[in-house]
Chain A
Amino acid sequence: MSSTSDRTVATTESIEPLRILITALGGEGGGTLMNWIVSAARASGLQVQATSVPGVAQRTGSTSYYIELSEADTSTVFNLVPLPGRVDIVLSSELVEAARVLEAGYVSPDRTLLIASHNRVYATAEKIKPGDGRYNTESIESAAQALSRHCHLIDLQQLAQDNGTFISATLYGALAGSGALPWDISVSRAMLETSSAAAASVRGFDAAVSAIGHTMPAKSKNASADTHPAADAATPDSLPLLIELATQRLTDYQDAKYATLYRERMGRLQSVDTEAHQPVLQEAARRLANWMSYEDIARVADLKTQPQRFADVRAQCGASDAQLVRITEYLKPRAEEIADMLPVSIGRRMVKRVSAGKSFPLLGSGRRIPSNAAWGYWLLRTTAALKRWRRRSLRYQYEQQAIEKWLSALTTAMPARPQYALVLAELPRLRKGYSDTLQRGLQSYNTIFESMVSPAQASHFEDASAVDLRKAIDAALADDNHKALNESVIKFVPKPAISWPGNTASTD
């Protein structure tokens, strides 16, 4: 230490180190990747330092690793934290994690090579929204293109899976293949040969090397289209196609006559108009089809016993022909669900009894049904056969009434307020789920319909605000306890549980 203490002023120019930032999710092997890079640097005779904040790294939170490299004959003072705008290479194991790096200003068009896996691992915040809470990935692609010097967006997760390895190996391959490291690919590759499951790692590494070779190395606006597989199946917007799909579904759900009822209902909407209402009609076509094929116990039992479904389960499990698969269903029909299927008068009585707090034998407790064992299969098939009585059932009756009510509002709104009609067409989106979730959805639907749609319909939608209705739907989909909806529609402000002088000022 004393040897360094009396240094003189610098006389020679020194070269800045190469800086690499890796961002990943805890448990993805980011530390392993960091160590591979460090060993390859050492094997190449370079000075290297790496560090991380793993903390609770196993537990799938965002985490990062940082590496600096320099020539062997230097005595670089390495930094332990990346400096925004001064990172040469950013590696991200997931698209939103790449967005996080972009957001923090680490990626600079002057110097940063960005290599990110194009796959998504949805964060809890995105998953728990009753609607669609997923982050917009197109904006990440454009930001990545605009803010980096070079950018490679490749689905390295899929590539890893295809090669039976982990994303750390494909990220490493992509980095090595990018040519940004100051040593040969073979040096990088050699580090894998001592790892556990070396063969698979090397396979993934090689696949990523060649994948990155095929992507556009230069900054290119259409690179993203080349570098990641097609996005999730595009939603076909063509009305005839939607109606055709709905017809098939409803014929399967009930019968051809029921499908005709659907087309008759769509016809009513189509007769209102024309081209101008295409988006409304498309939206309504979807919602009506889903609504009319509401999931009662007969429907669920029917869907669960389709031959194709058994094949799908096998495929999802990746079961080979030599393996056997036993399937267990978790069903818990309550008296309410049974009442839904019964004739109106009996169903009503049953519901009454349930609301009085009385129970029924055998109902309301969880059942595990082995759907690909003979008895379980036939039990479900018998339940599916109940669809024959569906038209006389309690639920059929109230669903059809509600559908007619919505259709009537929609047909009035379409000519008067097309914008409003578009939002109104989406409203049945709230009617989804089972048991309590369905009840909450229905409650949201009814609250909005009674407090906003019905009054507006009475005045022929003259002052109806599409924006307010949109807000109400979004609020209903924002949480599962009606908090947002109550606050936005009913303008209900709950009183603070404890009052003290400080919180009176905030009630405006």
Chain B
Amino acid sequence: MERSFAKEIESLRLGDGDTFYGEGILAVTKALLQSGVSYVGGYQGAPVSHLIDVMVQAAPQMAELGVHVEPCTNEASAAAMLGASIMYPVRGAVTWKSIVGTNVAADALSNLSSPGVTGGTLIVIGEDYGEGASVIQERTHAYAMKSAIWLLDPRPHLETIVHCTEKAFELSEASNTPVMMELRIRTCHLQGSFTARDNIAPDVSMQQLLDDPAPHNYEQLAHPPVTFGHEKRKYEQRMPAARAFILRERLNELFEGRHREIGIIVQGGIYNALLRALLELKLADANGDCDIPLLVLNVVYPLVPEQIAEFAKGKSAVLVVEEGQPEYLEHEIGSILRRSDIQTKLAGKDVLPMVGEYRSEILIDGLSRFVKQHLPAAGNLHAGEAYAAEVAALKKQAGQLLGAPVPPRPPTFCTGCPERPFFAALKLAEKDIGKVHYSADIGCHSFATFAPFNFGNSILGYGMSLASNASVASFQKRPPLAVMGDGGFWHNGLLSGVTSRLLNGGNGVLVIMKNGYTSATGTQELLSSPDSRLKLAAAEKSATHGEHTIEDALKGVGVKWLRTVHTYRVDKMRRTLQDAFSSKFKGLKVIVAEGECQLERQRRVRPVRTRALQAGARVVRTRFGIDESTCTGDHSCMRLSGCPTLTVKSSADPLKTDPVAHVTNGCVGCGLCGEVAHAATLCPSFWRAEIISNPNWWDRFKARCNRWLTAGAIA
């Protein structure tokens, strides 16, 4: 795993009255323990990876409490795990990244919410929306509505988040309904504090085993005919119970303000951005004391009609601040007002943008339009316009002074990443086989969609690349290529892609990047992660070499054309790709591109090397470099690599004007530069140096001989 959470695990033990300092997602983790959960599960992905990571690392401590931890192979298995709560009085929580994770989990969620739950059930949703998001921009809210799962959207404030987490279990039990809690990216990573309470050891757990399974109760099965009854119960019993609980526990917050003639209804998660916008408009102070009454919805589904009506009554206008599309809350609030015949004007997406993150500058603009229309008495009607003009002027001046747009800097493969050589090989192979339809997937390898590789004709979801080109395969001369990671393979790719292609006997080439971990989400373990024995045997080399679970699975389901190639064998990889595309075998051809994640390998190797150096043992470090004198500054090496340490610098030679290639000290000597120089017949400028610390007598003897035999030229 990429990060160690030893310190954070200690803070999970805090008790009554202690102050917890830390990240939002870890505060939620602590709140789960304070709520007495019996089991926790989920699937990793930013921004909730840390919840999984800390749980896995803290598994021994959790076991003391009796809490079972299960990092699942995908979100569907995590959601299905919640099914325990249908029959047993146990609390459970799972987490994943949304919208994608909720999509994968959708089937299980429908089957969970239909019978409803006995024990409190919480799904912690990392709502990957807005800046920094890596997925399609959609709202989890839709799932809450269609499956009747309650949705919390707490204010980004650790006390509130922890309180909502604890109350979510009570709400779930009070209404026999699963509850989701959405936390946006920045909220998950929010550094703050809250006052802790003691953890609660669950009554039923791996420490407190039940003697017997629950009795057979057909009413609790998501199976006809009782599903018709479930639907009725959702709206006639569970939702009213939930609304009563929300009101009773005052989960939504009302802040009064002196301009009672208008009001704002806001999602809890947007509260802080809204307050900053109001501060800029001089309608609130920094402490959150606001001139306009606010109804803050920490529960965004279901709404409580009486609460909305009560808030809107007597006001000339109400603004709904609701991030994302479509505007579900605004529609529902509109219905509530119409049904109660309240003549308050409803504003929302008419003054605020339909799409995108609601940052304060966006809200300033929308708010000032709303205030101008409905509160003409306010003394600062032009504050919003003045702010917008000021920022526009700043941006314009910056643009003029800079002279050109700043170059983009998307994330890329790490220095020494074993996936990079594969894409160099593919770029070279394309010269012979021509362009092929490339179905990309989710994972580190999707960085190949950026420069310098620019690969990919489509991305259809995690583990879906092979499945997605089944149709393309049917109408193209050259078989299409699908690339997926081992993470994607186990998440979905084996079943959706491989078995379906085999069933249909379809043509195609699949490349599986076997780096041993789900690296893009923080190197979590997989079914095919190398075990400690393999890691020990591999030492500084790639530990994925001896791990054959993926190959065995492929053979087991009937893959006939299968090759495993180490990614650093660039030329061999190129030839293997050529073979696959020119093969007479018309069926699925799989190349396992093997090479252990560099982050994990370095983490293993570094301490060993440091210890060896300290002990005075012989240690060889490898790095690459470039002869400036032979480099012509054409940068073709960079177009085949994109390595962060292979860069440019001004030439020291006054006769050369173009910058020359240069390898920085960050080079880990992965070997790609040399492999590519050979495979691409690139340029003779690259050299590899092996720097031998504490050389032995044989090293020194050879060096002395060489010096003597070259008359000292190589001293």
Cβ-based interface call for A310 (8 A): yes
Q: Known: A38-B191, A79-B273, A378-B710. Is A56-B46 also a contact (CB below 8 A)?
A: yes
Let me know if A313 and B687 touch, CB within 8 A. Answer: yes
Closest CB of chain A to B414's CB: distance in Å?
6
- Complex formed: what's the CA distance from A377 to B291 in Å? 82
Let me know if A6 and B254 touch, CB within 8 A. Answer: yes
Let me know if B713 and A84 touch, CB within 8 A. Answer: no
What B residues does A56 contact at CB under 8 A? 46, 134, 411, 520
What B residues does A42 contact at CB under 8 A? 21
Let me know if B688 and A328 touch, CB within 8 A. Answer: yes
What A residues does B405 contact at CB under 8 A? 103
- With most chain B CB atoms within 10 A of its CB, the pick from A60, A290, A295, A368 is A60
What A residues does B681 contact at CB under 8 A? 332, 334, 364, 434-436
- Complex formed: what's the CA distance from A26 to B191 in Å? 19
Q: Known: A80-B156, A480-B636. Is A377-B655 also a contact (CB below 8 A)?
A: no
Q: Known: A49-B191, A128-B639. Is A55-B134 also a contact (CB below 8 A)?
A: yes
Let me know if B630 and A324 touch, CB within 8 A. Answer: no
- Complex formed: what's the CA distance from A131 to B634 in Å? 7
Let me know if A13 and B285 touch, CB within 8 A. Answer: yes
Let me know if B361 and A83 touch, CB within 8 A. Answer: yes
Q: Using CB atoms, name the residue of chain B closest to A35.
A: B191
Cβ-based interface call for B80 (8 A): no
Let me know if A432 and B634 touch, CB within 8 A. Answer: yes
Q: Using CB atoms, name the residue of chain B closest to A320.
A: B693
Let me know if B650 and A233 touch, CB within 8 A. Answer: yes
What A residues does B686 contact at CB under 8 A? 329-330
Let me know if A372 and B706 touch, CB within 8 A. Answer: yes
Let me know if A103 and B399 touch, CB within 8 A. Answer: yes
Closest CB of chain B to A195's CB: distance in Å?
12
Taking a contact as CB atoms closer than 8 A, the residue among B250, B452, B657 that contacts A5 in the complex is B250
Q: Known: A52-B186, A128-B635, A434-B681. Is A323-B692 also a contact (CB below 8 A)?
A: yes
Cβ-based interface call for B251 (8 A): yes
Let me know if B286 and A17 touch, CB within 8 A. Answer: yes
Q: Using CB atoms, name the residue of chain A closest to B415.
A: A60
Which residues in chain A, 41-73, are within 8 Å of chain B measured between CB atoms? 42, 48-56, 58-62, 66, 70
Q: Kindly specify which of B137-145, B544-552, B672-680 makes contact with the partner chain.
A: B672-680
Q: Kindly specify which of B56-64, B219-227, B575-583, B641-649 makes contact with the partner chain.
A: B641-649
Mark interface residues in A1-35 (1 if CB within 8 Å of B CB, else 0).
Answer: 11011111110011111000000011100000011
Cβ-based interface call for B540 (8 A): no
Let me know if B639 and A317 touch, CB within 8 A. Answer: no
Cβ-based interface call for A433 (8 A): yes
Cβ-based interface call for A277 (8 A): no
Cβ-based interface call for A215 (8 A): no
Cβ-based interface call for A143 (8 A): yes
- Complex formed: what's the CA distance from A303 to B683 in Å? 14
Q: Known: A9-B257, A56-B46, A76-B287. Is A377-B692 also a contact (CB below 8 A)?
A: no
Let me know if A59 and B406 touch, CB within 8 A. Answer: no
Let me know if B655 and A53 touch, CB within 8 A. Answer: no
Q: Using CB atoms, name the residue of chain B closest to A99.
A: B406
What A residues does B714 contact at CB under 8 A? 307, 310, 371-372, 377
Closest CB of chain A to B522's CB: distance in Å?
9
Q: Kindly specify which of B174-182, B205-213, B697-705 makes contact with the partner chain.
A: B697-705
What B residues does A125 contact at CB under 8 A? 407-409, 451
- Complex formed: what's the CA distance from A79 to B277 in Å? 10
Cβ-based interface call for B275 (8 A): yes
Let me know if A53 and B185 touch, CB within 8 A. Answer: yes
Taking a contact as CB atoms closer than 8 A, the residue among B134, B395, B625 that contacts A105 in the complex is B395
Cβ-based interface call for A147 (8 A): yes
Cβ-based interface call for A86 (8 A): yes
What B residues does A139 contact at CB under 8 A? 401-404
Cβ-based interface call for B503 (8 A): no
Taking a contact as CB atoms closer than 8 A, the residue among A76, A83, A330 that contacts B677 in the complex is A330
- Complex formed: what's the CA distance from A428 to B189 in Å? 53
Let me know if A80 and B407 touch, CB within 8 A. Answer: no
- Complex formed: what's the CA distance from A154 to B451 in Å? 30
Let me know if A81 and B691 touch, CB within 8 A. Answer: no
- Complex formed: what's the CA distance from A2 to B190 in Å? 23
Let me know if B647 and A127 touch, CB within 8 A. Answer: yes
Let me know if A5 and B253 touch, CB within 8 A. Answer: yes
Q: Known: A135-B406, A374-B709. Is A58-B191 also a contact (CB below 8 A)?
A: no
Closest CB of chain B to A310's CB: distance in Å?
5
Cβ-based interface call for A316 (8 A): yes
What B residues does A268 contact at CB under 8 A? none
Cβ-based interface call for A325 (8 A): yes
Closest CB of chain B to A248's CB: distance in Å?
10
Mark interface residues in A237-251 (1 if CB within 8 Å of B CB, else 0).
Answer: 000011001100100
Q: Known: A49-B190, A300-B630. Is A77-B134 also a contact (CB below 8 A)?
A: no
What A residues does B401 contact at CB under 8 A? 102, 139, 142-143, 146-147
Let me know if B394 and A7 touch, CB within 8 A. Answer: no
Taking a contact as CB atoms closer than 8 A, the residue among B390, B647, B657, B710 that contacts A235 in the complex is B657
Let me know if B391 and A85 touch, CB within 8 A. Answer: yes
Sample 7 A-B pairs with CB under 8 A, ordered by A number.
Answer: A14-B289, A54-B46, A55-B411, A77-B276, A127-B638, A127-B648, A233-B650
Additional A-B contacts beyond A121-B647, A327-B688, A372-B710 (13; CB < 8 A): A1-B251, A55-B132, A61-B411, A80-B272, A108-B394, A124-B409, A125-B409, A139-B403, A143-B401, A286-B655, A299-B630, A307-B715, A377-B706
Q: Which 10 A-B pairs have the closest CB atoms?
A: A53-B132, A10-B289, A61-B411, A366-B678, A232-B650, A143-B401, A433-B634, A59-B411, A374-B709, A432-B632
Spell out B's residues near A (CB within 8 Å): 2, 21, 46-47, 131-134, 156, 159-160, 163, 185-187, 189-192, 250-251, 253-258, 271-273, 275-276, 279-280, 284-291, 298, 357, 359-361, 387, 390-392, 394-395, 397-399, 401-414, 444, 447, 450-452, 520, 571, 599, 623, 625, 627, 629-630, 632-636, 638-639, 642, 644, 646-650, 652, 654-659, 665, 673-674, 677-684, 686-695, 699-700, 702-703, 705-706, 709-710, 713-715
Spell out A's residues near B (CB within 8 Å): 1-2, 4-10, 13-17, 25-27, 34-35, 38, 42, 48-56, 58-62, 66, 70, 74-81, 83-86, 96-97, 99-100, 102-105, 107-108, 121-132, 134-136, 139-140, 142-143, 146-147, 161, 232-233, 235-236, 241-242, 245-246, 249, 286, 289-290, 295, 299-300, 303-305, 307, 309-310, 313, 316-319, 322-332, 334, 364, 366, 368, 371-374, 377-378, 429, 432-437, 441, 480
